[in-house]
Structures are given as structure tokens and as C-alpha cells.
Chains A and B, each alone.
Chain A
């Protein structure tokens, strides 16, 4: 007996049916969960900013965020002001943390668009810190982060994250041993010009005691991810240097 399923018409309609069935199931799931997912992302951004400010629940060598139920209150408490820098204009906007750095980066490529640069001003232990978002490319996909600076552009805290870096190698940029190395590093060189921080291989300073060298120790096996971190710090934080110059 010839199998009914070898028939061309059957095959065609099966394929169409399958695509419609799978497509609608996924579309239904995606649209019904959309708000919940967006909410999770919003909370995460707040947690990231708080983490960079040093507000976290770290356990030992593990990076732990402020818990989700406390995050809204903590964010209100520590982040005193959110500003948007657009060219020479500085405006206050308490929704600035929702600005999508990726979209802004894309838009800034078109002529005549002034990129919106969000900056979050926080008060922690009587000190004023400025958190700036950064975004770049790792080995496989996007990497991003938040860096907390004091008014002299000295790093006071950093949080990095990634979309799809290799576990155990590039993915380690979101581990404390790497992120904590940035604390105390200067972004400016001795002359007060913007230099950035290089994730350096063959760094003779693995304990990172020299904070003036504009370098942190790289992760073995994660050269390209590390270079991505160097590049995003340089390209994105340099945009803020004129703002910081005006502060002093």
C-alpha cells in the first residue's frame, strides 16, 4: 500500500498547516507574555544601575542584585536625578533609564541626529556618583554595561552583561573578579584627557594594584570579548567627557 503521506498535495498542506499552527502558538505566547517580559527588563535595568552604584547583595565572590521586590524603592532612594544630554542641552527626565542605547546608537548614524545620552546621578554615602550606560560588540553578540564614575571620571563601580558570550570564557565579564578590577581605575590620563580603560593581555599587574595605568587584567581565552569591553568603554564613555569637564 502506498503511504498516503508521500502524496505531494498532502505534503504541501501539511507544511502550510504546520507553519500556521506553530506560528500562531508562538505569536500568541510572545504577545501574551510581552508585558511581563518588558517589566522584567525594566527591573533589570534598575538593578544594573544600582549594582554599578554599589547597591547590591553580593555574597562572597558572587554578584547578586538587589531583590526584585525592593528594587523600585532602592532606585528611588539612591538615584536622585536622571538626566539626558543631547548636544549642549541637558534635561531632567525620570524615565531616562528606559532610553534604549542600541536605538540611540543606530539613530546617531543618520545625519543631523543628536544622540540622547542618559546619565543617572546617584547619592551613595554622601558621595555623588554618575552612572552611564555603555554598549558594544563581543565575540558572538552584543555586550553592554553600566559604569559609575565620580566627578573626576574615576570608576567607582561597573556592571557588565552580554547576550551570548561563551560560558566560562567571554561570559566571565559579568563575574565579580573581572568587574571589580575596574573600581578605582582612571578613565583620564595624567594630562586630564580621555583615554579609557584597556582590558590588557600580558598585564604585569594581575592584582590590579596600579590604578593609574588605564589597564585591567584580561580573561584568558576571552580576547575578543575583552577587546569589546575596551572598545565600548572608549567609544561610549568618551561621549560624556565634556559633561564631566564642565562639572569641575
Chain B
């Protein structure tokens, strides 16, 4: 027997493209705009969300039958916040360097709409294993877009990738800069992130017209 049934595999692959949380469901946009000025931050955020969403989905799924429906949103929020703070505390004690890099993301993870969205839409109605897969799938789909946006913004905005000067030195005027190329400072500002996300949505929908809403 395969580890993942066909239906389970779809839980992971769907959010990568045709049901991407950012480009199709338009969730998690705030963090996609805020932290994609460089590739490294995008990757760190993607990994953090992967962890929190998969864990949170499992926890919510396990207690889904005892959550009072009237306060379910508050319960969900408490679960995410508790998880994130717990992880942050443990990292502060045992991996201080890592926790410093993550500190700015903690607030952004708690308020990420994808997390609440998946709890509400999936984990409340499905078992832990499927919820876990759904969490992995959605955070991978989220991370994919984040990394794509981070790639273009860092490359065109600072001329670097993961901090390496791939286009030459802008001050010493080497490689590409010797030919008169200039970094585009606009790419570092949030509005350009929105435009990059918009371009990705445009390309995706023009390739698959069934995604266009009436």
C-alpha cells in the first residue's frame, strides 16, 4: 500500500498550483509583501509557516470535536499563538542565534491568514493525518510564491541572492554594473511586491484559463 492515497497526494499538490493559497485564495498576502525584500527571509518564513501550520492543523484536528463552535476562532488563535510562543521560547534557550533571526517573524506567523484559513476550512472537518498533509501542502504553496517573489526582489532590488553579489559590485562598478546597469530601489519597497505577486497571478491564470472567476 502506498503511503499516500491519490486523494492524500492531491492535498499536497493542489495548493502548489491550482489552489495556491496566495495566488488563488489570496491569503497570507500581508506577510508575502512584508518580508520578501530578500531571499533568505522568504525561506525562513516559509519554513516557519510549514512547521506552525502542520502542527497547528494536527492540534486543531485532534480537538475539533470538543471545540465549542461559538468561540472556535478564538480557540484557533490561542492554539497558534501558544505554539509560536512555545517554539520561540525553546529556540531562545537552546538556539539563540536562530531565534534572533526568527524574532521578527513571530508576530507575522500568528496573524498569517493562511493559518487561520486552513484551521477553519480544513482541520475542523478532517482527521489529523489529512490535516497534517493539508498543512504541508498549503505552506509549500505559500513558500513557493514567497521564494519566487523574494528571488526577484532581491535580485533586481539589491543585485544579490542570499547576500551574494551575483551581478557584480554596484559601487566598484564591476560585471553588469560596468555596462551601466543600476539596481532598482523600487523593488525593495512593498508596492513592488504586490506587483510581482500580481504578475505571478496573471501568468498563472493566462496559462490556465479555468482559474479565472466569472
Contact = CB atoms under 8 A, between A and B. Distances in A.
B37 A40 contact: no
Given A18-B78, A164-B104, A168-B188, A221 B71 contact: no
Main secondary structure of the interface of B (DSSP, over half): helix
Contacts of B163: 61-62
B104 A167 contact: yes
A45 to B, nearest CB: 12
A223 to B, nearest CB: 11
Interface string A2-23: 0101110011001100110010
Given A3-B69, A33-B89, A164-B103, A26 B188 contact: no
A225 to B, nearest CB: 12
Interface in A29-49: 29-30, 33, 36-37, 40, 43-44
Contacts of B67: 5, 14
Interface stretch (B10-18, B92-100, B133-141, B206-214): B92-100
Nearest to A3: B69
Contact of B68 (A5, A29, A169, A221): A5
B35 A26 contact: no
Interface in B65-91: 65-71, 74-75, 78, 82, 85-86, 89-90
Nearest to A33: B93
A166 B82 contact: no
Given A11-B71, A25-B86, A44-B96, 5 more contacts: A33-B89, A164-B103, A166-B34, A167-B37, A167-B38
Contacts of A5: 65-69
Interface of A: 3, 5-7, 10-11, 14-15, 18-19, 22, 25-26, 29-30, 33, 36-37, 40, 43-44, 61-62, 140, 163-169, 171, 206-207, 220-221
Given A44-B96, A167-B38, A25 B104 contact: no
Contacts of A6: 68-70
Given A5-B69, A14-B68, A169 B85 contact: no
Contacts of A207: 171
Contact of A163 (B34, B93, B103): B103
A21 B87 CA distance: 17
Nearest to A19: B78
Given A166-B34, A169-B188, A11 B104 contact: no
A127 B120 CA distance: 63
Task: Using C-beta atoms within 8 Å of the partner chain, give the interface range for chain B.
Answer: 35 or more
B66 A37 contact: no
Interface string B47-81: 00000000000000000011111110011001000
Contacts of A40: 92-93, 96
A80 to B, nearest CB: 27
A167 B68 contact: no
Contact of A10 (B68, B103, B171): B68
A25 B82 contact: yes
A29 B89 CA distance: 7
Nearest to B188: A221
Given A166-B37, A168-B38, A22 B66 contact: no
Contact of B104 (A61, A171, A220): A171
24 contacts: A6-B68, A7-B68, A14-B67, A14-B75, A15-B74, A22-B82, A25-B82, A26-B82, A26-B86, A29-B86, A44-B96, A164-B104, A164-B107, A166-B34, A167-B40, A167-B41, A167-B104, A168-B154, A169-B188, A206-B171, A207-B171, A220-B188, A221-B185, A221-B188
